[in-house]
Amino acid sequence: MLYELKNISKTYKSIGETNHALDDITLSLKKGEVIVILGPSGSGKSTMLNLLSGLDKPTRGQILFEDIRLDKMNEESLNDYRRKHLGFIFQSYNLISNLTIKENIELGSHLSSNPLNMEEVIDSVGLSSHKNKYPYQLSGGQMQRVAIARALVKNPAVLFCDEPTGALDEAMGKNILKVLQEMNKKYKTTMIIVTHNPSIADMANTVIRMNSGKIVEVTQNKKVKKAEELRWA
């Protein structure tokens, strides 16, 4: 198993109340899959990503990445873990405005000891003709593709995507999902995608549904849809 969560809880305490962001979650995640986490606002999706990616620690329970206890690691080891194995894509693209597209993507490759070939990655996200432009010269979907390329070029084992299509229209959104799907096939990158959009579940191998800090359902799709075949919610 890539990840194993055993009786994981995360609580936040504020004056007079305790908030159970995650409530006794037990779950295993397989390597090489596209995993979609669905759930309403406040259900604990981002908290889950933060724990898996070592940005935060559980209040209770064990969390293992390839049999190593993340919940026992110190900050320095967690930093190493993120640097070596993980990539991140967020709803906002976090590009650096005074660097070109190519330079933005290069930042990702500097983070890695075994980066992928820059030109190949730029080509596979369809940005070859834009690589010498600056972020302000691109559309939202194109900027998201830069962010994907920057995350992928370091060749991470796991790519975390928090609402990667949230700021995009249907055509751009599907376009981004298609890139993620192709990358999953080509490089066997495990994709963990958090979204409000239930249509995206059809392209997952595994779908995790959350509500109020709990997992309500885990389903496996026998047939996975291509990104371009999704019906948009």
**Nearer CB in complex with ligand ATP: 46/100:** 46
DSSP annotation of 56 reads S
CB of 213 to Mg ion, least distance (A): 13
**Cβ atoms within 10 Å of 132's Cβ, excluding its own:** 10
Residue 91 touching Mg ion (CB under 5 A): no
Q: Is 43 in the site for ligand ATP (CB under 6 A)?
A: yes
Select the binding partner of residue 12 from Mg ion, ligand ATP, none (C-beta < 5 to 8 A, by kind).
ligand ATP
- Would you give the binding string for ligand ATP spanning residues 169-208, x where CB under 6 A is met? ---------------------------x------------
Q: Segment near ligand ATP (CB under 6 A), from 44-52, 66-74, 103-111, 180-188?
A: 44-52
Q: Strands 206-211 and 17-29: what pairing?
A: unpaired
Looking up tokens 């972020």 gives: 135
Task: For residues 219 and 197, give the distance between their C-alpha atoms in angstroms, rounded to a whole number.
Answer: 16
* 93/106 with CB nearer Mg ion: 93
Regarding 46 and contact with ligand ATP (CB under 6 A), the answer is: yes
Who's near 215: CB < 8 A, 6+ residues apart?
25, 27, 208, 209
In the block, residue with structure tokens 């302000």 = 136
When asked if residue 46 is in the footprint of Mg ion (CB under 5 A), the reply is yes
Residue 41 site contact among Mg ion, ligand ATP, none (CB < 5 to 8 Å, cut-off depends on kind): ligand ATP
Least Å distance, CB 59 to ligand ATP, is: 12
Per DSSP, the residues of 159-219 read: EEEESTTTTS-HHHHHHHHHHHHHHHHHH--EEEEEES-GGGGGG-SEEEEEETTEEEEEE
Applying CB under 6 A, does 155 fall inside the site for ligand ATP? no
Q: Does 12 help bind ligand ATP (rule: CB under 6 A)?
A: yes
Per rule CB under 5 A, is residue 211 in the interface with Mg ion?
no
| Residues with Cβ within 8 Å of residue 79, at least 6 apart in sequence | none
Residue 47 in contact with ligand ATP, rule: CB under 6 A? yes
Question: Hey, how many other C-beta atoms are within 10 angstroms of the C-beta on 227?
Answer: 20
Does residue 53 belong to the site contacting ligand ATP (CB under 6 A)?
no
Binding site for ligand ATP (CB under 6 A): 12, 19, 21, 39, 41-47, 196
